[in-house]
Structure 1
Amino acid sequence: MLPTIKDVAKKAQVSVATVSRVLHNLPGYSDITKQKVLKAIEDLGYQPNAIARGLINKRTQTIGVLFPNVSSYFSAGLLHGIEEVANERGFSVIVCNTDGKRTIKYLQVLREKQVDGIVFASEELKDEYYQALTDMRVPFVLVNNQSHKYSIPYIKVDDRQASYQATQYLIQKGHREIAMLAGTQSDPIAGTPRVEGFRQALSDYGIAFHESRIAYGDFLLEGGRIAMRRLLDEAAPFSALFAAGDEMAIGAMGVALERGLRIPEDLSIIGYDDLVIAQMVFPPLTTVHQPLTEMGQLASKKLITMIESSDPVSSSIVMHHIVERNTVKELNQYK
C-alpha cells in the first residue's frame, strides 16, 4: 500500500496539518520540524496526490504552451527549455499546435483543462487571443513574440538588430550584391523587423536596396526553396544571401546546388536561429544564434513566478551572436 500523508505525520511525530503546511511551503513550523517532515517523506517514498494538492492550492500544476508549428526545429528548442524548468518546479506541460488557425479552439481547451498559466509562442497576439487569455484569468507570457498594444511580459531577441548584424557581417566580408529570404510578409513579430534590419544595414553602408532582391517565404524549408527559385529567376545576380530562418536557408542551399552554384565559392549564405540542423548540413551553415533553450527556460521561470506569487515580472531581450561556420566566403573587397 502506498504511504499516505497520515503515515508521514505519524513517522515525523507531527500533525497532518503540519505536513500539509510543509508540502505547500506555508508558514507556521520550525526548520527542525520541516527537516523531520522532509526526512519522513523521503524515507517513506511519499508522493503527494496531484488532485488533492490541487484542491488545497487551487492549482492543477499544469501550464499550456501554444505553438503555430510544434513540429519545427525552432519550436522544439523552445519547448526543451520550457519543459526543463516546468518539470523541475513540479509542473506538467500541455502543448498545442495551433497551425495559426486553431488558436481560439486550443485556448478553450486549455481553459477547460484549468491550466495555471500559458506560454504563447511565436504567433501574433491578436485582439481576440488577448481577450480569450484575459477571460481565463490566468497569467501568460509571450516568447519569441512581443505586443506593442498590450503590456504582456515577453522573452525574445532584438530581431531588427540581429538582422542588421547578419547583413553587416556579409558586407564586412566584402559582399555588396546581397539578397534576402524574408519570412511571412505580414508577420510583425519576426518578418517585418528582420527586413527592416536588412534594409538599414544596406543603407548605412551606402548600398542600394533592390526590391527584387527580397523574396518572402514562411520560415520553413519548402518555403525557402520556393522563394530561392524566385530570387534566382527574377532578381539581379547576387553574391550573398541572408535568410531570415535556418530552415529557409537550408532550403535555399538545396536549390542553389540544384542550379549548379557552389556554396560558398559561388554564393555565400547566412541563416538565422542556429537550429541543430545548421550544423548537420554540408557545408555547415553560418547563422545568427538565438538561445532557444534559454528563452524557453526564462518563459517558464517568469510564468511560474506569476502563478505562485502573483508578482509582476519584467520582459527580457536575450542576446544573440553570429556563429561562423562554412557558408560565407570573404571577398576582401570591402573598403
Structure 2
Amino acid sequence: MAYTIKDVAKAANVSIATVSRILNGQTGYSLKTKKKVLEIIEEMGYQPNAIARGLINKKTHTIGVLFPFLSGALVTELLRGIEKAASAHGSSVIVSHTESDEEKTMKYLQLLSEKRVDGIIFTSEVMTKQYYEFIKIMNVPIVLLSTKSEVFPIPYVKVDDFEAAYSATEYLIKKGHTEIGMISGPDTDMIAGKPRIEGFKKALQDHQISFDDKNIVIREGFMFTEGKFGMLSMLDQKPDVTAIFAASDEMAIGAMFTAYQFGINVPDDISIIGYDNINIASMSIPPLTTVQQPFMEMGESAGHMLLEMMETDQLSESRILKHSIVERKSVKEKI
C-alpha cells in the first residue's frame, strides 16, 4: 500500500501542514512531534512526492547534466561522480545528450527549464552566448565540467590541459626521446585541442628540442579512427619518430593498431603515451602509459560545487584537479 502525507498526518494526529514543515526542515513544531512524525514515516515507508515537495519549497531536487556524447568511459566516470554527489544531497540527475549540436542543446535546455531543474552541469563543450543567455533566464546556477569559458563568469572543474600535455611530453623526453611527434585533436578546439598542442610545444622548447610542422598531426577529433589515420600521417611525415604523444587514449590505441599493421613494435620500435586513462588503456596490448584525468573525482567535485551554489546562491570558485602519469608498458627508455 502506498501511503500519503494525509495518512502520516492522521496517524500522528497532526495537520498535513505540520508533516510538510517537518519534511522540508521548516519550524513550527516541537521536537516530540518531529520525532513522532519521523517514526511514523519510517514505519509506513512513506516516500514524499518530489513534485509536491517542490511546490512547497520551490525546489525539484533535480539537476540537469548536458553531455555532447554518451558513450565511453569518460562520460561514465564523470556521471558516476555527479550522481554520487547528487545522491548524498538527496537530489536526482537528468542527463541530456546534445551531440554537440546547437539546436539540440537549446531543445534540451528548454526541456530542463520545463522540468524546473535546480541547477545545470554543462560538460566538454564551448559555452556559447545563446546557451548562457538562456540559462540566465532560467535563473539557476551552472557549473562547467571538463571545459571552461574565457568569456562568461562560470565556475568550472577540470584539469589543466596545457600542464598535463606538458607532463606527457616531458615524460617522453626524460625517457631519452628527442624525435617526438604528437597526434592531436583540432587546433581550433579551445578546450582539449589547442591547450594540449601548446603544452606539447612548450615542453619541447624548454628542453631545447626543435619543433616544426612535421612534429604534429592534427586530426578532426579524438577517437580511435583519428589515431589510426593520424599514425599513418606521422610515419609518413616524420619517419625518424621514436615516441608519440596522442591527445587521447582512443587515439593512442588507434596509433598502436596502425603500428601493429606495419610490423612496428610498441614500445621497442616506437613509444606511445596517451591522455585520459580510460578503462581500455589498461586492456590494450601493450597496456598504455597515459595521463590520468580523475574523471569520477571531477564529476563529484562539480556536483558538490553546484549543490553548494544551489543552497547558498553564491558563485563558487573554479577548481583545477591534479593530473598524473600512469606508467604501464607502451613507453620504453631510449638508450
Scaled by the length of structure 2, the TM-score of the pair is 0.94
Which residue number in structure 1 is paired with residue 225 of structure 2?
222
Which whole-Å CA distance do the structure 2 matches of 1:156 and 1:220 have between them? 20
Paired letter, 1:92: S
Paired letter, 1:42: E
SS at match of 1:287: strand
Distance 1:26 1:216, change over 3 A: farther
Which residue number in structure 2 is paired with residue 255 of structure 1?
258
Paired letter, 1:329: K
Alignment of 1:163-242 (within 5 A): 163-217=165-219, 218-242=221-245
Which whole-Å CA distance do the structure 2 matches of 1:199 and 1:34 have between them? 63
C-alpha distance after superposition, 1:214-246 (max 9, x if no partner): 112311111211222211122342100111111
Name the count of aligned residue pairs.
332
Which residue number in structure 2 is paired with residue 286 of structure 1?
289
Alignment of 1:113-152 (within 5 A): 113-152=115-154
- Structure 1 residue 33 displacement after superposition: 4.0
Which whole-Å CA distance do the structure 1 matches of 2:78 and 2:38 have between them? 33
Is the CA contact 1:167–1:201 (under 8 Å) kept in the aligned structure 2?
Answer: yes
C-alpha distance after superposition, 1:276-333 (max 9, x if no partner): 111111111101111101111111111122223323322111111101011000114x
SS at match of 2:256: helix
Give the stretch that moved more between structures: 257-266 or 30-39: 30-39
Give aligned-pair identity as a percent: 53
Which whole-Å CA distance do the structure 2 matches of 1:31 and 1:252 have between them? 66
Task: Please point out which of 308, 312, 315 is paired with 1:312.
Answer: 315
Which whole-Å CA distance do the structure 1 matches of 2:167 and 2:272 have between them? 14
Which residue number in structure 2 is paired with residue 51 of structure 1?
51
Which residue number in structure 1 is paired with residue 9 of structure 2?
9
Which whole-Å CA distance do the structure 2 matches of 1:279 and 1:315 have between them? 31
Distance 1:208 1:243, change over 3 A: same
Which whole-Å CA distance do the structure 1 matches of 2:31 and 2:250 have between them? 53
Structure 2 residue runs of 5 or longer lacking an equivalent are none
Which whole-Å CA distance do the structure 1 matches of 2:285 and 2:29 have between them? 61
- Structure 1 residue 84 displacement after superposition: 2.3
Scaled by the length of structure 1, the TM-score of the pair is 0.94
Which residue number in structure 2 is paired with residue 325 of structure 1?
328
Structure 1 residue runs of 5 or longer lacking an equivalent are none
Paired letter, 1:93: V
Paired letter, 2:273: I
Is the CA contact 2:169–2:245 (under 8 Å) kept in the aligned structure 1?
Answer: yes
Which residue number in structure 2 is paired with residue 21 of structure 1?
21
**What is the CA RMSD across the aligned residues, in angstroms?**
1.7
C-alpha distance after superposition, 1:107-154 (max 9, x if no partner): 222223322211100001122221222122211110001111111010
- Structure 1 residue 30 displacement after superposition: 4.8
Alignment of 1:85-104 (within 5 A): 85-101=85-101, 102-104=104-106
Paired letter, 1:249: A
Is the CA contact 1:213–1:236 (under 8 Å) kept in the aligned structure 2?
Answer: no
SS at match of 2:181: strand
Is the CA contact 2:244–2:273 (under 8 Å) kept in the aligned structure 1?
Answer: yes
Distance 1:180 1:35, change over 3 A: farther
Which whole-Å CA distance do the structure 2 matches of 1:301 and 1:278 have between them? 28
C-alpha distance after superposition, 1:143-189 (max 9, x if no partner): 00111111101000011111111111100011111001112221101
Distance 1:263 1:35, change over 3 A: farther
Give the stretch that moved more between structures: 139-148 or 81-90: 81-90
Which residue number in structure 2 is paired with residue 270 of structure 1?
273
Which whole-Å CA distance do the structure 2 matches of 1:110 and 1:19 have between them? 29
Paired letter, 1:187: D
Is the CA contact 2:187–2:197 (under 8 Å) kept in the aligned structure 1?
Answer: no
Paired letter, 1:45: G
Paired letter, 1:18: T
Is the CA contact 2:184–2:197 (under 8 Å) kept in the aligned structure 1?
Answer: yes
Give the stretch that moved more between structures: 210-219 or 286-295: 210-219
Distance 1:311 1:26, change over 3 A: farther
